[in-house]
């Protein structure tokens, strides 16, 4: 995105308490329990809230009843890890949020307002889709890197991400963040593989 597009999207004045125009359940979901109500940088606050929640989610995923959630595909020297827990979490949030985002935007007569941050939550979970659960628990700093990478892709929207915003209604709100999270997850995983290979 160029500077003018960034200014138009992130520099615009936001109407305070705009979310009050919809019902409580839609508000709680779309603002991710109020994190999107921040008067400044609501997208960052929503992403941060999702990042914080991701750690106890990883603890839950590591519990024995859930069984194996991480799968490696490829050779011993190089392969891809798929964290099925966070992949499922991202997809559940993605499809589950669609009707609530549509309702919230319709009720408030808005189009992708800043306070809707459930899309950032979906993106953060997708950014962790290639990181083993045990690695997240052993090295929680990886969450900060996932957060930073996702925000990079979410704000600048390179590699065709901005095109996904043009999808109709809630699909456009959610799809660009899902793709941004996917890119962030791939970069994060390849970076970790490179670090391991060089050490």
Residue 5 counted as domain residue: no
40: exposed, middle or buried (Cβ count in 10 Å: 0-12, 13-18, 19+): exposed
Q: Which residue has the higher pLDDT, 159 or 72?
A: 159
Smallest CA-to-CA distance from 121 within 46, 18, 180 is with 46
Q: Does 6 reside within a domain?
A: no
Q: Which pLDDT does position 20 carry in this prediction?
A: 83
**Residue 76: pLDDT over 60:** no
* pLDDT surpasses 60 at 183: yes
> How would you classify residue 112: left for phi > 0, otherwise alpha for psi between -120 and 50, otherwise beta?
left
Q: Is residue 122 in a domain?
A: yes
2 within domain boundaries: no
Number of domains present in the structure of the chain: 1
Q: Is residue 186 part of a domain?
A: yes
Establish if 4 belongs to a structural domain: no
> Is the confidence at residue 79, as pLDDT, over 80?
no
Q: Is 59 part of a structural domain of the chain?
A: yes
Confidence band of 70 (pLDDT split at 50, 70, 90): confident
Above 70 in pLDDT, residue 7?
A: no
Nearest to 114 by CA among 58, 38, 62: 38
* Residue 1 banded pLDDT, cuts 50, 70, 90: low
Residue 122 structural domain:
12-64+86-198
Closest CA to 173 of 104, 127, 107: 104
Q: Give residue 31's pLDDT band: very low, low, confident or very high (50, 70, 90).
A: very high
Structural domain includes residue 170: yes
Q: Where are the alpha helices (DSSP H) in the chain?
A: 3-10, 24-30, 42-61, 84-108, 118-127, 133-138, 142-156, 161-164, 169-198
Q: Look at residue 10 in the predicted model and tell me its pLDDT.
A: 57
Q: Tens digit of pLDDT for each residue in 109-144?
A: 998 899 999 999 999 999 999 999 999 999 999 999
pLDDT at 14 over 60: no
175 token code pair: 């799809």
Mean pLDDT score of the chain, rounded to an integer?
88
Q: Is the pTM of this model over 0.85?
A: yes
Using pLDDT thresholds of 50, 70 and 90, give the confidence band for residue 63.
confident
Assess whether pLDDT exceeds 70 at residue 30.
Answer: yes
């Amino acid at each position: 995105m160029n500077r003018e597009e960034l200014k138009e999207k992130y520099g615009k004045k936001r109407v305070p308490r705009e979310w009050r125009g919809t019902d409580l359940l839609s508000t709680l979901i779309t603002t991710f329990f109020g994190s999107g109500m921040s008067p400044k940088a609501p997208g960052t606050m929503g992403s941060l809230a999702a990042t914080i929640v991701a750690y106890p989610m990883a603890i839950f995923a590591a519990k024995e009843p859930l069984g194996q959630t991480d799968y490696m595909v490829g050779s011993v020297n190089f392969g891809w890890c798929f964290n099925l827990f966070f992949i499922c979490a991202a997809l559940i949030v993605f499809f589950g949020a669609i009707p609530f985002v549509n309702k919230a935007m319709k009720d408030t007569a808005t189009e992708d307002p800043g306070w809707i941050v459930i899309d950032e939550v979906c993106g953060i979970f997708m950014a962790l889709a290639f990181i083993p659960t045990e690695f997240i628990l052993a090295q929680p700093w990886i969450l900060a890197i996932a957060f930073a990478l996702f925000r990079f892709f979410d704000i600048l929207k390179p590699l065709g991400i901005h095109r996904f915003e043009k999808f109709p209604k809630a699909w456009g709100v959610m799809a660009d963040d899902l793709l941004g999270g996917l890119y962030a997850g791939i970069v994060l995983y390849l970076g970790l593989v490179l670090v391991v290979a060089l050490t």
